[in-house]
Structure 1
Amino acid sequence: MFFVTRLRLRARENGFLLSKSLSFSSASILKSDDVEGEDDAVEAEDRRRSVTNRAYWRRRIHSICAVRRNPDEALRVLDGLCLRGYRPDSLNLSSVIHSLCDAGRFDEAHRRFLLFVASGFIPDERTCNVIIARLLDLRSPVSTFGVIQRLIGFKKEFVPSLTNYNRLINQLCLIYRVIDAHKLVFDMRNRGHLPNVVTFTTLIGGYCEIRELEVAHKVFDEMRGCGIRPNSLTMSVLIGGFFKMRDVETGRKLMKELWEYMKDEADTSMKTAAFANLVDSMCREGYFNDIFEIAENMPQCESVNVEFSYGHMIDSLCRYRRNHGAARIVYIMKSKGLKPRRTSYNAIIHGLCKDGGCMRAYQLLEEGSEFGFFPSEYTYKLLVESLCRELDTGKTRNVLELMLRKEGTDRTRIYNIYLRALCVMDNPTEILNVLVSMLQGDCSPDEYTLNTVVNGFCKMGRVDDAMKVLGDMMTGKFCAPDAVTLTTVMCGLLSQGRAEEALDVLNRVMPEKKIKPGVVTYNAVIRGLFKLNKGDEAMCVFDQLEKASVTADSTTYAIIIDGLCVTSQVDMAKKFWDDVIWPSGRHDVFVYAAFLKGLCRSGYLSDACHFLYDLADSGAIPNVVCYNTVIDECSRSGLKREAYQILEEMRKNGQAPDAVTWRILDKLHDSSMPLAVEGELNSNPATSG
């Protein structure tokens, strides 16, 4: 650090600046000087401290890792200390590993820990278990188990904690390496640990997942033989295995035993987890009638909270997209005098809307109003959009009125969502009625409201109505228009061929309202003018963009290149590329693809090939779409050899052919000569057939 500081000072004397962004504000200069002053003070303190002052270095490394979150700097400090004879301890190692894990660098944490151990810096047993627990957060049990084995090789007396063993067994079961997980049980026994109920339950679940039900049952019997009493969750996991194997009779028999078992168990949380796991297993395997039977009879009695039981059944059915079945659970609850949770009821309506059952969702919403239910904002959005697609304005309006009665709701936002949904319907009268309702209800439309209305009218092709709304905004009846409003209006005018009016908005209205058009506005106008074959006017707008000191982006250039090529101005497009686009440095694959497409469609295939080669030679990286465009044109022209040459160039530049590439190449071959397999293409890519 001292060397870097001296290097910076020397660079400043020579007129250079290292590793700092340019800033001319006095505040940033003072802040930079303060930071450098603090760093210099810390460096001076580090040089003053002896390596024997372990308390100082522990605090220093911990501060770097926990406060500054810079494990690289901590490792650099440790390396320097080791050169001075310092030996890292457990706290140093723990700080570094935790910092690496916090930064998401788990693989490096594994490697660093192994390097420390191999170098003889072996922490105490407690620290080892803490570090292993943190490494297990990666959920890569094979890597972590390798670390444990290496650690035991260096420290024979080390024994991982029971919790770490159980987590490792669970993670191995999750990746279907249940045999390895079972071996770990024997290993933990050999090292003095006795498996507990968590160990056996995890192992049983693993065997059930790989459909080894006989082995799972043997583990269950072994568990009892060891004097470990299975809990409700263990029974639930085993029952799920029988349902998975379609042994319904045994599963139902064990389920009856589970209900009796729950009555004698004192741990409420365990019974709740068992019930939830059982319901999830039955939904996953499709035993929905059994769930309905449980909902009607409630065989678990008071072992599990009634509201939780019904709520979890609804949530689980919704998770597996059985929303109508979840609605049936609601009716069962009502017959027992119970009310569903608002979150569960909302999940049913939400799921029905997503699955195309908006009419059923509307019916449930009406029934929910009996107990004061209001949908969430997002569910309301889905419902009104679905009803608008069904062209049912009446029901949509009823949903709006219901949401407006909800306390604490943002009325303007509710109206905005409704207006946005109405845009899919060709019903301008309803849109205007909503605006009137807002004004009568003392709910002022905001910019988003009016922009939504203007956009809706333009999409319906009713640009004159949009202009009327814009006129009301400009005369002060509503809030003033912004750049989004005027851009939307210009797009609508251009879509109807009214270029003069659109340019009038750009050149007269926007300056009068002191609204500065941005690059998005210019892009929209240029695109619309090119679609109307008004290339000269479009280029004039681009000149305005440059004079207004607005920076064009790659979208601007892609629009212009595409427009010039479509209007048969390929030479001008080439000149624009050479004089403007390439020197600007703002070009990407969209610009390349637009230029290549324009050249190919205009009959300039040779120029397109040269352009593609020049891009690669200059360091640009065309993507697979660019290559496919040229290959497709070669295919249309029957140029097989050139097509395969482009394919070879594509591979040389690190781009892999995709399905579209092979489909294009297939067109090069007639029925008498099928397309060569990919391996033959690799060996002879220039084959012409």
Structure 2
Amino acid sequence: MLCRTASHSFSPCGFQETCLRVLSFCNSHSLKEGVCVHSPIIKGGLQDDLYLSNNLLSLYAKCFGVGQARHFFDEMPHKDVVSWTTVLSAHTRNKLHFEALELFGMMLGSGQCPNEFTLSTALRSCSALGEFEFGAQIHASVVKLGLEANPVLGTTLIDLYTECDCTVEAHKLLAFLKDGDIVAWTTMISSLVETSKWNEALQIYVRMIEAGVYPNEFTFVKLLGMSSVLGLGMSYGKLLHAQLIIFGVEMNLVVKTAIVDMYAKCGRMEDAIKVSKQIPEYDVCLWTTIISGFTQILQVREAVIAFLDMQLSGVLPNNFTYASLLNASSSILSLELGEQFHSRVIVVGLMDDIYVGNALVDMYMKCFHTTTNAVKAFRGIASPNVISWTSLIAGFAKHGFEEKSFQLFAEMQASGVQPNSITLSTIIGACSKMKSFVQTMKFHGLIIKTKADIDIAVGNALVDAYAGGGMVDEAWSVIGIMNHRDPITYTSLAARLNQRGDHEMALKVINCMSNDEVKMDEFSLASFLSAAAGLRTMETGRQLHCYSVKSGFERCNSVSNSLVHLYGKCGSMHDAQRVFKDINEPDAVSWNGLILGLATNGHISHALSAFDDMRLAGVKPDSVTFLSLIFACSQGGLLDLGLEYFYSMEKTHHLTPKLDHYVCLVDLLGRGGHLEEAVEVIGTMPFKPDFLICKTLLNACKLHGNVALGEDMARRCLELDPSNPAIYLLLANLYDNAGFSDFGDKTRRLMKERGLRRSPGQCWMEVKSKIYLFSSREKKDEDEITEKVEFLITEMKNKGYPLQENEDKLYHSEQLALAFGVLSVPTMAPIRINKNSLVCIHCHSFIMLVTLVIDRQIIVRDRKRFHFFKDGQCSCAGHS
């Protein structure tokens, strides 16, 4: 039609006007058909008409992309500021910021003078690239052209300086604009929010109010998004909601969605739903926000109901909706639910969507026992991004295929996708699981090379990997070079030190945290309490308990459970029970700590009663519960009840006994003299007998004088650990007790000939928050402690008590620790001694007699149990 029109005998002015009308109409409606005018314009000889060309250029940019627009622009015979600004804006709009700035340079080189729109577009590209110097040059041009008071340019410059971390300059510009308008203020707030400068954004908001500039809906939308990250949570979000009402901001769909999102992220879904009902408008964004909110607090049923309501309302879910629902399935590990949403994804044709694909990979990795479906979902993603790769790598590491996760990491890099901090943290976590020093060092090198070590999450992962692999010095070295540390940094280190049994070093981490001005959270506090429990240091434990009360962490189950464990380990069941009673909802860990503490402290009947209370409270027992129960029955000589607990594990509670349970069962049978049944258990259990279970039965043989079986168990132990001196000593004692002292002496000589020596018995005590260590030493040493031992011995002899002298002419570690306690511990406080092995018979008698000489309670925690000595008696009543 246009071509026919051109061939008629219209006047050039009429034809030109017709072309302009067509182009103007198509530009306003973004209609591709408008380019059909291009050919008639050329045929009509109007290609030199700059006004027509600029309109055509604009249409090309809108409808056919930057490439076509640039091609047309390059062929234009004449160009003005509008032409340059149009093509420049097209590049900026499509995030081709380098090319946009190149064009701006070409424009200046051509002698063309930019206007405020050209300058504003170039400044936006500078902001996106963080090009401070280039932006500053453009700012100089703005001043030179006398446009510094222009509000559009002022706003764009504020955005540039804020993005480039030059907030002082941004503040000056804001002041120059006579405190600016709402757009300028909101731009600055928006830039600060986007660069995670939350506190500065809040300060600017306060300044804006003080300057008499009232926020609009866009200001509040930006500020409400900060509520979940500022650490102020509900108090901050509710204040903004209140101010939004006070300032009379209209409740439209965008504002409503922002408020709902704020409440949802704070876990207040009741408030979120109330706000969502204030106006009738709903869209897919709002529904998805509601679904995500329910998912976040694990209310998956409500999330699914919201999804169904969304469909009934006629709003179609999008890719983000389905991604949220798949994440909900992952959160409760429901494969069935995840597969249902997967089928819907296939129906609506979102299989190749990156967000849906990533959620599918994550769901199948978490909910399915193999990686097959996750890999299929991954291969279905058209262009996997770093999140896709990270989910796949994390999934393989979680399923125990660490080597495969390393291969995938290499594939990701080969495909041109660069890892982010989460990817690197994940791959370092895989190294930690493998305890692979070589791989950890390899990836550490890559992290240093890419300067990713400045990220705190990556640094924390390295600390955990090195400490978990026993390379504590390397872990400390990483901490030393980290720009920032947080509670996770020190919690990882303390937890790993606890696993290695280095509890004293774990407690020293507290001072490092304090010096670094990093406050303990509930997780680090629980780790330090575990360290104190491992050392059985009551004073340090009480100090940590005080801190937990002051900081409000005693309400956290992880902290309360650690306190129950601590007091149980330190022999103070009164404190343990008091802490337990203050727990609002005790879980299985809480009850297990109480039961084990009671059993270890000799309160067998109370431990068994606690188990009954646990079941009445509706808390399901786990494998640790039964380990504590069988141990309690073993210590209390309750053979039949112990057997009943063991066999009820599978029959009643559907728990498969582990090797530790069988060790406890053998100890139970062995102590009860049922050695043949114990042998039968070892022969029929679904595990290969290890050193500990054979040693346990050997000890039972020593108690009951069964030489033949004891020799067999000793042989098995030595096959598993030939250089363990404890087996020689147990066998020698077995021979001595059975009247075969010659064989006992021969066994000891054999041990010495093989160069084996018994690990020296050690005791330790905590006095005034300091740990004191004691080892056996010869009697000839003279100091205050040995003098006190001699004094106690003399007092016993003077009172006629039957004291046996040490045959080995040594002061045992228990004796030295006891003497130190008498000298150092206040008279009203009990003397608490910890020992790394069983208390010997001689020292057990010695301590009982000491309590007749001095009126003190003495508590000894050896490798197996507590001994409470008072008035010449011990709580163990002679049981080993």
Give the TM-score category using the shorter length.
0.3 to 0.5
State which structure, 1 or 2, has the greater radius of gyration over its C-alpha atoms: 2
Q: Give TM-score, length-normalised by structure 2.
A: 0.31
